[in-house]
Amino acid sequence: MAYLGNPTNTVAVLNTYGFRFQKKYGQNFLIDSNILENIVDAAGVTKDDMVLEIGPGIGTLTQYLAERARQVVAVEIDDNLIPILQHTLSEYDNVTVIHNDVLKVDLKALADEKNGGKPIKVVANLPYYITTPIIMELLEKGVPFESLTVMVQKEVADRMQSGPGSKDYGALSLAVQYYTEPCVKLEVSPNCFMPRPNVGSSVIRLTNKKDNRVSVKNEEMLFRVIRAAFNQRRKTLANALSNASNLSCNRNDVVDALLKMGLSESIRGEVLTLEQFALLTDLLG
């Protein structure tokens, strides 16, 4: 039975192994059983599912996932946590721990091997310092996933679901919304963690919309255009794109495309919708 949602049990395990938190790994362990249950509920985990967990820590969320899922594969980078995981997960025969940096693991190959290429569910309490690289790795590398349910810093969750004109709107917003439907499931207080972080957290579910994406002829170019638009956020879109080293278009081309779309040549990228970025990309392509 899952027992690590109890703070006393968590402290006992940490003391037994003399574990010391490492700032470089952004380690904050959940110590609230209600939140843990809510995360698994938000992910919709069933006995039919293979779940990929990133950064299991001492196995707190892993225990709750293992009791609901058919199989859990957890990827942990910290050498010091491996013996702890061997202990805390010893009762679960449906859990595999991979000792590696998740950004160095071929997650598509892993899903193919462990789940026959069928969509997996990703559930994680992500280290805040590396949230965006992990999310982008999962979105861009063709990992077959049904949903990503992740705990992230609240302001990052806000960015993921923000729209045009918002200060939070940017390249991450557009990437997430191109690949998925984002929905914040719950807010989590700093008091639910050990050690206590300095910021609030949110659990956000990103549901794959593989068959319902915005139409664009060149997906790779779309994201080059988006990155260029927000790399120089204060500049007009025409200037930002024409100055971008990863795009071969001049200012006149961009202005012509914008005018065809009924947009001003002085417009900035932060007010364009995903659909407008896709159309602009097609016109420039």
Tell me the C-alpha distance between 100 and 78, whole Å: 8
- In eight-state DSSP terms, residue 105 is S
Q: 3-class SS at 283?
A: helix
**What is the tens place of the pLDDT at every residue in 89-112?**
999 999 999 999 999 999 999 999
**Are 67 and 17 within 8 A, CB to CB?**
no
More confident residue, 249 or 96: 96
Q: Looking at residue 1, what is its pLDDT? A: 81
Helix (H) or strand (E) holding 199: none
CA distance 99 to 156: 27
Cβ contact 202:58 at 8 Å: no
Q: Using the predicted structure, report yes or no on whether residue 285 has a pLDDT greater than 90.
A: no
Task: Say what percent of the chain tops pLDDT 90.
Answer: 89
Average pLDDT over residues 153-181: 95
Tell whether the model's pLDDT for residue 11 goes beyond 90: yes
pLDDT at 180: 97
Q: Give whole-number Cα distances, 212 to 1, 149, 180, 252, 278, in Å.
A: 40, 20, 9, 33, 14
Q: For residue 266, name the pLDDT band (cuts at 50, 70, 90).
A: very high
* CATH homologous superfamily, domain 219-284: rRNA adenine dimethylase, C-terminal domain (1.10.8.100)
Classify residue 152 by burial, with Cβ atoms within 10 Å: 0-12, 13-18, 19+. buried
Compute the average pLDDT of residues 26-53.
Answer: 96
Kindly state the average pLDDT of the residues 229-237. Answer: 91
The pLDDT value given to residue 26 = 84
Average the pLDDT over 135-153 and give the result.
94
| pLDDT over threshold 90, residue 31 | yes
- Cα distance between the two ends of the chain: 56
Task: Return the closest-CA partner of residue 185 out of 62, 42, 80, 53.
Answer: 42
pLDDT greater than 90 at residue 117: no
| Cβ atoms within 10 Å of 29's Cβ, excluding its own | 22
Residue 129 has pLDDT above 90, yes or no: no
The owner of tokens 């969750």 is: 157
Q: Which CATH superfamily is domain 7-211 in?
A: Vaccinia Virus protein VP39 (3.40.50.150)
Annotated domain spans of the chain: 7-211, 219-284
Whether pLDDT at 24 is above 90: no
Contact (CB, 8 A) for 66 and 85 = no
Q: What does the pLDDT read at residue 4?
A: 92
Amino acid at 215: S
Q: Is the pLDDT of residue 234 over 90?
A: no
Cα gap 40→123, rounded to integer Å: 8
Q: What is the mean pLDDT of the chain?
A: 95
Inter-axis angle of helices 274-284 and 219-231, to 10 degrees? 110
Confidence of residue 51 (pLDDT cuts 50, 70, 90): very high
